[in-house]
Amino acid sequence: MGSAPIDIDPANILFAVLIGLGSIACIAGLLLFVVSPSLDADLARRSAFAPQTLAGGLALAVVLGALLATPVYLFTTRDDDVLRRSIALLAGQTALLTVLVIRVIRPGVLTWDDLGLNAVALDRRIWQGVIGGLAILALSVSATQALQEVGVAPTQYTEFMPVAQADPTQFAGFFLLAVVVAPACEELFFRGWMFTALRHRYARWVAYCGSGAVFAAIHLNVQALAPIAAMALILAFLYDRTRSVIPSMVAHGLNNAVMLASLYWLSGGSSGRG
């Protein structure tokens, strides 16, 4: 028996072509701006903490992530929402880590240890992360209630409800990405590189506000902008005080884990699918 033909949505093809062409053009320009200086170690060190380098690196990661995720949108339909979200999340995190390695790690601007990725006092760092994660959760609940009081409805739950109603295997895969992979890659990029770069050139408050604002903005959730920015400030505080990225990774992962687990419980898990 032959395999069933793949039903490709024409809208997906057009979307993929446009994204692909646009991404290739953007990547070509961004590669020249971001990656070419990394070929010279001295130039890489002199420019790695410049605001334009941070902006270019983030833009390159966003475009590269979109390009990597394009094939899944081409060969799937809207019914494969969880698969699309998972691949897009993995592509985005892969892009962040790739840019970080090429622009910062490979030319020797910073080492993994400089970024705070080490096992020094690991048990203490983990507990600091747990405490920070609980603080983020408390702040998130308070911020959500405050926003509801002024008529702003939170969208985090509705945005991820399809994931919570997926089958257990799909949910477990997305959960792993959101709780382990995303916190690790995002903390290395936004706290390890971006916060460090801004702190190197400007006052501490600029590093906090700048890295936090960018972190909140890239989540593309206007209603949740304030809670995400507040979360970013706590993550930056953990990193700044400990000089380790482990506490912020743990806190970030704990926040994501509780959010997804609560959604899964509230929706009744995979039984919630209609």
What pLDDT, in 10s, does the model give residues 259-270? Answer: 888 888 877 655
Give, in order, the Cα–Cα distances in Å from 263 to each of 169, 246, 272: 16, 26, 11
Put residue 118 in one of left, alpha, beta given phi > 0 → left and psi -120 to 50 → alpha.
beta
How many other C-beta atoms lie within 10 A of the C-beta of residue 14?
Answer: 10
What pLDDT, in 10s, does the model give residues 173-194? Answer: 999 999 999 999 999 999 999 9
| Local mean pLDDT, 10-residue blocks, the chain (274 residues) | 54 69 73 80 89 91 86 76 89 95 93 93 96 92 74 66 81 94 97 96 94 89 79 96 96 94 75 47
pTM: 0.85
What pLDDT, in 10s, does the model give residues 239-254? Answer: 999 999 999 999 999 9
Domain boundaries, the chain: 1-109, 115-274
What pLDDT, in 10s, does the model give residues 74-93? Answer: 777 777 888 888 999 999 99
- Provide CB contacts within 8 A for 6, sequence distance 6+: 75
